[in-house]
């Protein structure tokens, strides 16, 4: 939970009840988000590999670029989390400074040990904001570059492929665009708002916590997009839901429903 104009995180959950320090929880949250972002990028690269025809002139170079970028994403995701160490400071000193500076309103949980703050005079805050800006900028470039590369390759090879293959590749391209949309809505947008709040560019106490809700939904949103954008998975999910409906209503199952196995999806 983030309160503005005082930038603070209030940890009041199961981990706090177990005695886990709020900063460790914050570090773990950022780590999980960054790793999940890397996984989303990995999935996007995998889809990109599927739709690129092997007859493309620079197929090998594109695949090598995808492998390098995927490894870079995982390593960069883990290393970039360490930038949060720049926000560490003595909490009592920081809270006393905020209280003396008469920054209002002050949350009711302000003096709680579960509430961590970053004071306006923290000398490492600009460096933290620069690291966050670089990370968000990289994701923005990635979201523009991936669909563009796929579109250019498909456009140049459209005359050498059958209509059925082109149709399947267009469907994969739509899936890639949806995955990019998830990254924009659930990663780029929430953390852009968060860093803007730390830079005092956003002072509304509702906007930042509301935007971070989207960040919590990035995993489920990506999974849902993956299921709904692939017809075999969509058909299987529909059949499984019909089973649940039959159990609840004690009705007969429609035999025309089809469940796809991994062999039928791949083959």
Residue-wise pLDDT for 215-260, tens only, equals 777 777 877 877 777 777 777 777 777 777 777 777 776 665 555 4
- Using the 8-state DSSP alphabet, how is residue 12 labeled? -
Whether residue 241 sits in one domain with residue 194: no
Q: What's the half-sphere exposure (Cβ side, CA atoms, 13 Å) at 230? A: 18
Residue-wise pLDDT for 24-37, tens only, equals 888 887 888 778 77
Whether residue 242 sits in one domain with residue 206: no
Whether residue 246 sits in one domain with residue 203: no
What gap in Å lies between CA 186 and CA 64, rounded to an integer?
A: 28
Does residue 267 surpass a pLDDT of 50? no
Q: What are phi and psi for residue 117, nearest 5 degrees?
A: -125, 165
Does residue 265 surpass a pLDDT of 50? no
Does residue 266 surpass a pLDDT of 50? no
Does residue 131 surpass a pLDDT of 80? yes
Judged on CB neighbours under 10 Å (0-12, 13-18, 19+), 212 is middle
Whether residue 246 sits in one domain with residue 225: no
Residue-wise pLDDT for 28-79, tens only, equals 878 887 787 777 777 777 777 777 777 777 778 878 887 887 888 788 878 8
Whether residue 157 sits in one domain with residue 253: no
pLDDT band at 103 (very low <50, low <70, confident <90, very high): low
Whether residue 206 sits in one domain with residue 104: yes
Q: What is the DSSP string of 112-172?
A: STTEEE--TT-TTHHHHHHHHHHHHHHHHHHHHHHHHHHHHHHHHTGGGS-HHHHHHHHHH
What gap in Å lies between CA 186 and CA 163, rounded to an integer?
A: 35
Residue 68 is predicted with a pLDDT of 83
- Using the 8-state DSSP alphabet, how is residue 187 labeled? I
Helical segments of 4-21, H only: 14-17
* Percent of residues in the chain assigned helix, strand, coil, to nearest 5: 70, 5, 25
Helices (H) and strands (E) in the chain, counts: 11, 2
Mean pLDDT of the chain: 76
Looking at the structure of the chain, the number of domains it has is 2
What gap in Å lies between CA 11 and CA 17, rounded to an integer?
A: 10
What gap in Å lies between CA 170 and CA 128, rounded to an integer?
A: 40
Whether residue 70 sits in one domain with residue 17: yes
Domain carrying residue 46: 8-229
The answer to whether residue 133 sits within a structural domain is yes
The answer to whether residue 3 sits within a structural domain is no
Whether residue 127 sits in one domain with residue 56: yes
Does residue 92 surpass a pLDDT of 70? yes
Answering whether pTM is above 0.85, one says no
Residue 256 is predicted with a pLDDT of 57
Long-range contacts of 62-66 (CB under 8 A, 24+ apart): 62/149, 62/153
Whether residue 134 sits in one domain with residue 263: no
The answer to whether residue 2 sits within a structural domain is no
Residue-wise pLDDT for 145-174, tens only, equals 877 877 787 777 777 777 777 777 777 777
Whether residue 147 sits in one domain with residue 178: yes
Whether residue 140 sits in one domain with residue 45: yes
| Start-to-end C-alpha separation, the chain | 47
Chain position carrying tokens 């570090």: 27
Q: With contact defined as beta carbons under 8 Å apart, do 129 and 42 qualify?
A: no
Whether residue 12 sits in one domain with residue 76: yes
Q: With contact defined as beta carbons under 8 Å apart, do 50 and 168 qualify?
A: no
Closest to 143 (Cα-Cα) out of 97, 216, 192: 192
The answer to whether residue 1 sits within a structural domain is no
């Amino acid at each position: 939970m983030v309160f503005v104009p005082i930038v603070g995180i209030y940890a009041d959950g199961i981990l706090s009840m177990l005695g886990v320090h709020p900063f460790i929880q914050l570090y773990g949250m950022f780590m999980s988000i960054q790793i999940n972002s890397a996984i989303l990028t990995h999935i996007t690269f995998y889809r990109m590999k599927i739709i690129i025809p092997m007859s493309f002139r620079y197929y090998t170079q594109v695949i090598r670029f995808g492998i390098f970028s995927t490894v870079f994403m995982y390593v960069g995701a883990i290393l970039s989390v360490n930038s949060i160490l720049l926000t560490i400071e003595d909490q009592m000193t920081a809270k006393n400074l905020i209280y003396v500076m008469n920054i209002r309103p002050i949350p009711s949980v302000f003096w709680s040990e579960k509430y961590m703050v970053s004071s306006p005079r923290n000398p490492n805050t600009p460096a933290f904001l620069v690291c966050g800006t670089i990370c968000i900028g990289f994701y923005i470039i990635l979201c523009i570059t991936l669909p563009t590369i796929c579109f250019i390759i498909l456009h140049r090879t459209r005359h050498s492929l059958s209509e059925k293959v082109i149709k399947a590749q267009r469907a994969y391209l739509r899936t890639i665009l949806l995955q990019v949309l998830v990254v924009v809505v659930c990663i780029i947008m929430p953390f852009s708002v968060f860093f803007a709040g730390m830079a005092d560019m956003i002072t509304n106490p509702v906007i930042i916590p509301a935007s971070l809700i989207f960040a919590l939904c990035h995993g489920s949103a990506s999974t849902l997009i993956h299921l709904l954008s692939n017809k075999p998975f969509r058909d299987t999910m529909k059949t499984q839901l019909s089973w649940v409906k039959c159990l609840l209503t004690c009705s007969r199952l429609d035999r025309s429903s089809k469940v796809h196995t991994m062999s039928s999806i791949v083959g």
